[in-house]
Structures are given as structure tokens and as C-alpha cells.
């Protein structure tokens, strides 16, 4: 006589399920809460779990031991390219996005500040970062409003480097700061490059080339 064991049943969406730690979803890229859709109570100790993103409903696999999530897959570290930005600054900006996707929010804030510092150095602006940002505005590399944005990046980066490490970093706030970093780079480098390209294209069409 053959005995069969029924496969564990996936918990219906309407039922209350256990919330897992927040992760960067490999599907939608959001820093999202995941719900445990695999009833692990029948598995003592370490056991597999199926986790569902509450943002996009993508299901990923994982292993847990008690309340601790040991591993999950697939993994995807996000990044972003920065065309028309000097290579060293572009690489640092990409690292800020990678830090965000990995949940390293203090590191993301520190990298965003470093990008603003690198931008000032690129334009051969000296002095501390507070003064350098104002000089970027005076030189026309940033608008007055973008200068205010750059100062916010500076302050958040300072807090990440020198603040109380017991204070948690809000992922949404860190994302805002990294998005601000993108705006600074667009103003300082990318907008002018795009303008030159579209202007050259128009002039070429006008000249019949």
C-alpha cells in the first residue's frame, strides 16, 4: 500500500498571513513588504517559504528558520546608468542606486553626498561642500532651487556619516535623496548634453544633411 503526502497548500490571499521583513522586490524593484504564502508551521526548524510582494504580487522563494529569513531568490540588485556624466561621478551615482536596492540606505545617502562633492570638484570648485554648492549655483551649473536640493543631499549625507547609528533610515526618505541626486546630475551635466544633441539634429535637418 502506497502512502501519499499532500503538498502544502498555498494560503489564499484573503486569509491573514505572516508579514516578512521588507525586501527589494526583483519584480517591481520596490522596497516592499512580502507576505508568507507558504504555511511553514508543519516544517520544524529551517524550511522553505513562498513570499509574495504586496506591491506587485510577484512570488519569490526563500528559506526561513523561525522568524528569521535566511535567504531568498531570485535576487536582483538595481542600478542606473548616467550617460553624459563624467565616468567617476556616474559610477558613484550608480552605486547609490545599487545601495538603495540592497537596502543599504545609509550607504546610499553617503554616496549621494559624494556625488555632489564630485560634481563640484569636476568644475574645479574648491572649499567645503556648503560653499561649493553655492558656487555651483553662482556659476550656473545648478539653479537656485537645485542648489537647495543639493544642500539637502549634503545634510542627509552628513547625518548618515556622522549621526546616531541607532536611528533607523526611512527607505522612502533615502529614495527621495537619491532621486534628488539624479536631478543634480541632470542639471549639471545631462541637460546641456541633450540640448546640444537635439540642436545639432535640428540644424542638420535644416541644412539637408
The three three-digit cell numbers of residue 72, written as one number: 531568498
pTM: 0.65
Q: Model confidence over 167-207: pLDDT tens digits?
A: 888 999 999 999 999 999 999 999 998 899 899 888 888 88
N-terminal to C-terminal alpha carbon distance within the chain: 83
Higher per-residue pLDDT: 76 or 149? 149
In the block, residue with C-alpha cell 560634481: 119
Whether the per-residue pLDDT at 2 is higher than 50: the answer is no
pLDDT bucket at 7, cuts 50 / 70 / 90: very low
Question: Looking at residues 70-74, what average pLDDT do you find?
Answer: 80
Q: What is the pLDDT of residue 204?
A: 84
Q: What is the pLDDT of residue 201?
A: 87
Q: What is the pLDDT of residue 95?
A: 94
Angle at 22 between CA 21 and CA 23, to 5 degrees: 115
From 59, 14, 70, select the one nearest 32 (Cα to Cα): 59
Q: Model confidence over 92-151: pLDDT tens digits?
A: 999 999 898 878 899 999 999 999 999 999 999 998 999 999 999 999 999 999 999 999
Task: Specify the CATH number for 87-206; select among 1.10.10, 1.20.120, 1.10.1060, 2.60.40.
Answer: 1.20.120
Q: Where are the alpha helices (H) located in 42-170, listed in sequence order?
A: 87-101, 105-122, 129-138, 144-162
Q: What is the pLDDT of residue 44?
A: 60
Q: What is the pLDDT of residue 9?
A: 37
Whether the per-residue pLDDT at 90 is higher than 50: the answer is yes
Q: What is the pLDDT of residue 16?
A: 40
Q: Model confidence over 25-63: pLDDT tens digits?
A: 887 878 888 888 765 555 566 778 888 888 888 888 888
CB 157 within 8 A of CB 113: yes
Contacts of 192 by beta carbon, 8 Å cutoff, 6+ apart? none
Which helix H or strand E contains 179, and what residues bound it? Answer: helix 171-185
Q: What is the pLDDT of residue 105?
A: 92
Domain boundaries, the chain: 23-73, 87-206
CB 110 within 8 A of CB 157: yes
Q: What is the pLDDT of residue 179?
A: 95
b/e per residue 120-151 (b: at least 16 CB within 10 A): bebeebeeebeebbbbbbeeebbeeebbebbb
Q: What is the pLDDT of residue 15?
A: 39
Of all residues in the chain, the percent with pLDDT exceeding 70 is 84
Amino acid at each position: 500500500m502506497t502512502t501519499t503526502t499532500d503538498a502544502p497548500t498555498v494560503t489564499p490571499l484573503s486569509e491573514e498571513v505572516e508579514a516578512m521583513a521588507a525586501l527589494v522586490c526583483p519584480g517591481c524593484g520596490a522596497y516592499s513588504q512580502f507576505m508568507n504564502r507558504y504555511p511553514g508551521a508543519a516544517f520544524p526548524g529551517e524550511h522553505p517559504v513562498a513570499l509574495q510582494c504586496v506591491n506587485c504580487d510577484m512570488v519569490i522563494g526563500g528559506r526561513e528558520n523561525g522568524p528569521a529569513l535566511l535567504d531568498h531568490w531570485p535576487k536582483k540588485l538595481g542600478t542606473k546608468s548616467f550617460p553624459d556624466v563624467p565616468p567617476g561621478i556616474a559610477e558613484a551615482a550608480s552605486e547609490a542606486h545599487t545601495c538603495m536596492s540592497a537596502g543599504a540606505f545609509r550607504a546610499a545617502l553617503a554616496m549621494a553626498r559624494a556625488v555632489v562633492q564630485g560634481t563640484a570638484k569636476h568644475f574645479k570648485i574648491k572649499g567645503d561642500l556648503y560653499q561649493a554648492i553655492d558656487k555651483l549655483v553662482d556659476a550656473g551649473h545648478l539653479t537656485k532651487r537645485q542648489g537647495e536640493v543639493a544642500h539637502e543631499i549634503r545634510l542627509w549625507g552628513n547625518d548618515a556619516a556622522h549621526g546616531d547609528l541607532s536611528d533607523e533610515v526611512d527607505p522612502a526618505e533615502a529614495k527621495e535623496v537619491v532621486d534628488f541626486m539624479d536631478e543634480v546630475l541632470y542639471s549639471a551635466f545631462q541637460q546641456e548634453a541633450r540640448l546640444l544633441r537635439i540642436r545639432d539634429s535640428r540644424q542638420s535637418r535644416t541644412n539637408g544633411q
